Structure 1
Amino acid sequence: MTTDRDDRTTILLDRAHHDGSTLYAPAGTPALGDEVTVRVRVPKGAGVRDVRLRTVRDGEPRLLPARRDGGDAHEDWYAADVVVHHPVTSYRFFLDVPGGYRWLDGRGVHDREVPDAASFRVTTHAPAPGWLRDGLAYQVFPDRFARSAAADGRAVPGWAVPAAWGDEPAGAGPLAGTQLFGGDLDGVVEHLDHLEALGVRTLYLTPVFPGRSNHRYDAATFDHVDPLLGGDAAYARLARAVHGRGMRLMGDVTTNHTGDGHEWFARALEDPASAERDLYLWDDGGPDVARPQGADPYVGWLGHGSLPKLDWGAEETWRRMVIGDEAVVARYLREPFALDGWRVDVANMTGRRGSADRTHAVARAVRERILAERADGALVAEHFHDAAADLAGDGWHATMNYAGFTRPAWSWLVPEGSDVPFLDLPVPVPRRPAAAMVETMREVAALVPWRVAATQWNMLGSHDTPRLRSIVGSRELVEVAATLLFTYPGAPVVFAGDEVGATGTNGEHARTTMAWDQAARGGGPRWDTAMLDVYRRLSALRAASTALRDGGLRWAAVHDDAVAYLRETPDERVLVVLARAPWPGVRLPGHLLEPGAQPEVLYGDLGVRATADGLDVSGDGPGVAVVRLA
């Protein structure tokens, strides 16, 4: 590790490096007993005399020799063979250096002993379908995206409080869940041109089942689509229109609970001898028990009586949700809807209650059923914190990456003195240096197989969070954040409205409507056309670059106010520089650039130029640079 220009800039390119991308590990899914050749890059300046591979086989650590596998005047490459002796086989590298040794694992190089938790992994489990990370995923909250003309003729249910399309969403209180703006599925169809121009490849809608709230996570039935949204016919029209443009469509299902207005729950309360009674968890003396007057006590999600929790210890729950002929998970994957997969709400709590933990069994079964219906189907889980224990690779394909992306990105980009709440914590979003962001990102990603890390849904906001613009406060920092989103490993996900500067200080307040009238006039206070152009350009940039879609990740330099990293495949090397404020700049090794070449600026305004002494990056900021080096 070296520093440059001032003692707050750390250059990381003098350290050995390995990740699971195709520069370092072969593509494809191995079988048990296969040998997989893995490679490690060792800069000459690292002082490494020899490299060995460490695995743990049958409970016992083993060191195996690595062999030289090429190199040049600046770095050596070593290769070693990993025997896939377990469905998830872990390994790390032993680096022999003068006076001792170092370990290389997913968190980096360590001059100390380390636990096995962050070791690299090769897995026999098939990865997520490639389409899941090939392009931008776009989240739509149906009530707030667009109204078709048909919405005007629909009766408003008794639970709802009608709102005008331009009204400000309620951020708290009963109105937050009952304020109805009347967006519908045909409205989404009418604006698919907007998605296509943005480069959207996957459309993800929050629930479409009837409920007694505007968010519909309190399903009253899984048998049909909410008539307020246009019903089954409108969902089928949307599916045909989305698929007709070559996009994918993902649904949202709640496996942890239903609404208390669900037909199953009504039957369970009415008849204790019914099959539906077995579907739910009743008073077991534990926490989160709802005790409504005149009804049997039952377990509610986080104690909310409106969301009774399903019992995955009951065969009937498995039959109705996953394994039956007409199971919820299966039926919407078929025509006329033909969903391409599911996002699972509250996945981290599904099947968990006290000593009972069936979450992994549920994840595996849902995945198997999806793949039985659609060979290239996808499964993404909601998970707000460390999901490593749930991501071995045989269940959820990925999670919504709040822990490894959203939280660290926010805490680097938020200005001093912000009063925006930090998700579920009783404090505002704290401002931290880039080293804290990088350390968190590396640490979280290291706990799962590379294939999972490279498929995680990265977000700068969702329907459950404040808006990005309200977090960072300026268009310039939104651009820095968006560049991080589109250039970091994983699948970029945008919540509808972020691309045009939507604001909101918490999840409910952030569920704003799309200002289509301002879009038609070329912009306005709620439709930032300059910001939309940024998102469109970055989306197109990622689509055109194999390194940004599929490459590995090497952190190059870290300063409190800036970071630089490399995305690399065997055929392309891209340098990304992000600055939240002015900083001293950095000089990177000149050999990163092809001999005789000049950096090719793909996006951004930060200066990056080749000199006789190296690759100089300017200290301007806020700003970004995305530069092709090879």
Structure 2
Amino acid sequence: MTHAPHLLDLPHHDGSAVHVPPGTPALGDAVPVRVRVPRAAGVERVWVRSVRDGEPRLAEAVPDGGTDAEQWFTGEVVVHNPVTPYRFLLDGPGGYRWLDGRGVHDRDVSDDGDFRLTTHAPAPSWLGDGLVYQIFPDRFARSGAADGRPTPDWAVPAAWDDEPAGTGVLAGTQYYGGDLDGVVEHLDHLAALGVGTVYLTPVFPGRSNHRYDASTFAAVDPLLGGDDAYARLSEAVHARGMRLMGDITTNHTGEGHEWFAAALADPGSPEHGMYVWADPASDNTDVATTASGEGYASWLGFGSLPKLDWAAPETWHRMVTGPDAPIGRYLRPPFALDGWRVDVANMTGRWGSEDRTHAVSRELRAAVERERPDGALIAEHFHDAGADLRAGGWHANMNYTGFTRPAWSWLATEGSPAAAHGLPVAGTRRPGGAMVDAMREFDAAVPWSVTAAQWNMLGSHDTPRLRTAVGSDELAEVAATLLFTYPGTPVVFAGDEVGATGDNGEHARTTMAWDEGARGGGPRWDAGTLERYRRLSAVRRGSDALRDGGLRWAVVADDAVVFLRESPSERVLVVLARAPWAGAVLPGHLLDPGTQPERLYGEVGLDVRPDGLTISGDGPAVGVFRLL
């Protein structure tokens, strides 16, 4: 069988420290950018093309060392604009080519895929120190105090082992009674998993189990234990060296929110100006109607979620700038949150001809950093977030389009509704090249400092479960290995680490089977999957290259992909195969003479031979190796 070809004869650049000096440049800085050019590529001269005030500039790069196998060139990019695009012009036999964030092209290309330097500071470094663990409070754990709380009038009680409803009214009203002290009681589980950041979906009271329909931001839901329980959780999380992030809706409140109640009661009130009012006769399906016939904008037509108007000074005062505004208040003791994940960030401040989203994101970041200079601000944005992430507000995004959907498209079962989440079609199982093209396209839309901080997920409280999407334990392992080895921050939704299943976002909000865990496993607690996540988490924590290194695609085949993660001190090779494939031979110069690869994880074969590093065609299978 002929081996799959490798891509390591192509020139390469990314924004990591191997190619760009670490740190955030200031306006006016001249930043040296290095490009690796394999001698087999036949490149004779290199120029850096940057864009300054909308006009391209070319500056020739100079040779800067190399080996028998490859040569380096270094050029300079003047950071004249807050986000400065650049790419490389390569000249040699056969004519010129371009190298940008999407790869090497023997044609002219648009600026959309350019590399980017930015003066906007990156996410705080602690965000990538360990995995982010997402908790849906109602479904994680019940403390003893939960038994004494009355069931709210909106709720339908459920036993802890009941299957979550996936559709209908019950999906939002099924109530299991998990609380914050229950989270405290299970922090040992998180510590053993290598969690660095605990992220809870909203803790404010509402009239649903998800609590994205807040009735106030002034207090924590008593059903979760109230303010005191949130403070206890914060203290316990921080005592273990972990961070704690909250979740807040800036696009809307609940219709039961005290502000909306005041707005309905008095059209002349300050609160009335905080909401977007619209013609009730409009054909816009996002317009809902009050009992008195007044029209208002709502989230996707759900009248229970009225939209905030960020043109109103009172909205800014109540949400951000006022002394009791929630954005700052919960970052201060006793809650001491380390940052926020912002729900529906992409719609916040947008309505018709009005677009204040970038202004809102920048002011939210400023407010966070006033309280916590190292605070984090993460957006929820389900589609193309590139323009929003370049604006200097959000540090990173929940990376559905740049990671989750591409990974599912490669690994999910053909025809699975789960694989086409959010689309009115069946899922399509695509080849590895389609996954890589999608990842490169979305990664190229943002500066490397953002790519390196993106929240990569294999699922969340809004999606089907990974195990349901891919259909097998073997492919779930391939997916988990990709999660822990790809640039960015791995995010795990509570339950994925023990093999949870779920057909859609609501059905996926299953409870944690702590009783089975205490017995060593069971139908809802796969001990083997848990051990896998613990091992992969430890591998990532122990590797500079996996935490902070660049990304170089080495092999892209239909059923397998291979990539390198490289930092100044380390090179790691990652092999992922969804099925048996042809295998590949990589150049021997990737490994120092006389040394052997160190297997960090997985069973894929890797042999050192005179013709190079030979990767076996096993599959489904994974392998993670330290080469340098």
TM-score over 0.5 (shorter chain): yes
- Which letter maps to 2:521? G
3-state SS of 2:171 partner: helix
Which residue is equivalent to 1:16? 11
2:543 corresponds to 1:545? yes
1:61 and 2:59 equivalent?
no
The answer to whether the Cα contact below 8 Å between 1:393 and 1:452 also exists between their aligned partners in 2 is: no
Residues of 1 paired with 2:209 and 2:5: CA distance?
Answer: 48
* Alignment partner of 1:72 out of 67, 70, 74: 67
Aligned counterpart in structure 2 of residue 168 of structure 1, from 163, 168, 172:
163
Q: Contact conserved, 1:579 with 1:621, CA < 8 A, in 2? A: yes
1:478 to 476, 480, 487: 476
Question: Post-superposition shift, 1:417?
Answer: 3.9
Give the equivalent residue in structure 2 for 1:335: 333
Match of 2:108 in 1: 113
Please tell me whether residue 589 in structure 1 is matched to residue 587 in structure 2.
Answer: yes
Q: Partner residue of 1:429?
A: 427
- Larger mean CA deviation between 346-355 and 322-331 belongs to 322-331
Change in 2 beyond 3 A, CA 1:417/1:428: closer
What amino acid is the match of 2:265? E
- The one of 258, 279, 282 aligned to 1:263: 258
Q: Which residue of 1 aligns with 2:440?
A: 442
> Equivalent residue for 2:571?
573
- Matched position secondary structure for 2:585: strand
Q: Which residue of 1 aligns with 2:606?
A: 608
Of 294, 297, 314, which aligns to 1:296?
Answer: 294
Aligned to 2:522, which of 524, 534, 543?
A: 524
Distance 2:267 2:430 in 1: 54
- Alpha-carbon deviations, 1:162-188, whole Å to 9, x = none? 000000000000000000000000000
Taking the aligned partners of 2:54 and 2:283, their CA distance within structure 1 comes to 37
Q: Secondary structure at the match of 2:35?
A: strand
Partners in 2 of 1:392 and 1:515 — Cα distance?
A: 41
Assess if the C-alpha contact under 8 Å between 1:126 and 1:393 holds in 2. Answer: no
Segments of structure 1 that go 5 or more residues without pairing to the other structure are none
Q: Which amino acid aligns with 2:398?
A: M
The partner residue of 1:102 within 97, 110, 121 is 97
Q: Mapping of 1:94-493 within 5 angstroms?
A: 94-284=89-279, 285=282, 287=284, 288-392=286-390, 394-420=392-418, 422-493=420-491
**In the alignment, does 2:594 pair up with 1:599?**
no
- Deviation digits for residues 388-442 of structure 1 (CA, Å, limit 9, x no counterpart): 0101151000000000000000010012343436221012221000000000001
Cα deviation, residue 98, structure 1: 1.3
Distance 2:276 2:444 in 1: 36
CA distance in 2, matches of 1:419, 1:462: 16
What does residue 2 of structure 2 align with?
Answer: 5
C-alpha distance after superposition, 1:180-222 (max 9, x if no partner): 0000000000000000000000000000000000000000000
How far has the Cα of 1:293 moved from its partner? 3.5
Asked if the contact 1:260/1:266 (under 8 Å) is kept, the reply is yes
Q: What TM-score, normalized by structure 2, do the two folds share?
A: 0.98
1:88 and 2:83 aligned: yes
**Secondary structure at 1:416's aligned position in 2?**
coil
Q: How many angstroms does 1:57 deviate by?
A: 2.2
Q: For 1:99 and 1:360, locate their aligned partners in 2 and report how far apart those are by CA, in whole Å.
A: 44
2:31–2:76 CA contact under 8 A, matched in 1: yes
Q: Secondary structure at the match of 1:624?
A: strand
Shift of residue 474, structure 1, vs aligned partner: 1.2
In 2, the alpha carbon distance for the partners of 1:465 and 1:64 equals 46
How many residues were matched structurally?
625
- After TM superposition, the structure 1 stretch with the greater mean CA deviation from structure 2, 58-67 or 228-237, is 58-67
Q: Which moved more, 1:277-286 or 1:155-164?
A: 277-286
Please report how far the alpha carbon of residue 599 of structure 1 lies from its aligned counterpart in structure 2 after TM superposition.
Answer: 1.1
- Distance in 2, matches of 1:618 and 1:350, equals 49
Provide the C-alpha distance between the structure 1 equivalents of 2:161 and 2:14, rounded to a whole number of angstroms: 47
Q: Give the C-alpha shift of residue 295 in structure 1.
A: 4.6
Scaled by the length of structure 1, the TM-score of the pair is: 0.98
CA displacement 1:246-279 (0-9 Å, x = unmatched): 0000000000000000011011001111111011
- Cα distance between partner residues in 1 of 2:107 and 2:167: 49
Please give the per-residue CA displacement for 1:476-514, whole angstroms capped at 9, x wherever unaligned: 111100000000000000000000000000000000000
Give 1:157's aligned amino acid.
P
CA contact (8 A) 1:123 1:393 kept: no
**Secondary structure of the structure 1 residue equivalent to 2:599:** strand
Residue identity matched to 1:80 = G
Q: Matched residues, percent identical?
A: 71
Do the aligned residues in 1 keep the contact of 2:299 with 2:307 (CA within 8 Å)? Answer: yes
The CA deviation at 1:87 is: 1.1
Contact 1:548-1:567 at 8 Å conserved across structures: yes
| CA distance, structure 2, for counterparts of residue 456 and residue 468 of structure 1 | 19
Q: Decide whether the 8 Å contact of 1:421 with 1:427 is kept in 2.
A: no
Shift of 1:286: 6.2
Distance in 1, Cα, partners of 2:132 & 2:426: 28
Distance 1:477 1:351 in 2: 40
Whole-angstrom CA distance in 2 between matches of 1:198 and 1:433: 31
Alpha-carbon distance between aligned partners in 2 of 1:381 and 1:570, rounded to the nearest angstrom: 30
Q: Which amino acid aligns with 1:324?
A: G
Letter in 1 for 2:2: R
- 1:324 shift after superposition: 1.4
CA distance in 1, matches of 2:53, 2:354: 28
Structure 1 CA distance for aligned equivalents of residues 594 and 74 of structure 2? 30
Query: Which of the numbers 38, 45, 48 marks the counterpart of 2:40?
Result: 45
Work out whether residues 88 and 98 of structure 2, in 8 Å CA contact, stay in contact via their aligned partners in 1: yes
Quick check: 1:352–1:358 contact (8 Å CA) kept in 2? yes
Residues 346-403 of structure 1 show CA distances to partners (whole Å, capped at 9, x for unaligned) of 0000000001000000000000000000010000000000100101151000000000
Q: How far apart in 1 are the matches of 2:8 and 2:426?
A: 34
Given residue 371 of structure 2, which amino acid in structure 1 is its aligned partner?
A: E
When residues 10 and 359 of structure 1 are mapped into structure 2, their CA distance, relative to the original with a 3 A threshold, is: farther
Cα distance in 1 for partners of 2:233, 2:522 equals 28
Instruction: Select between 388-397 and 441-450 the one with higher mean Cα deviation.
Output: 388-397
**What SS does structure 1 have at the residue aligned with 2:96?**
strand
Matched, 1:33 2:28: yes
CA displacement 1:72-96 (0-9 Å, x = unmatched): 0000000011111111111110000
The one-letter code of the counterpart of 2:387 is A
| Partner AA of 1:500 in structure 2 | V
> What amino acid sits opposite 2:373 in the alignment?
A
Letter aligned with residue 5 of structure 1: T
User: Secondary structure of the residue that 1:221 maps to in structure 2?
Assistant: coil
In 2, the alpha carbon distance for the partners of 1:333 and 1:540 equals: 29
Alpha-carbon contact 2:591-2:627 (below 8 Å) kept? yes
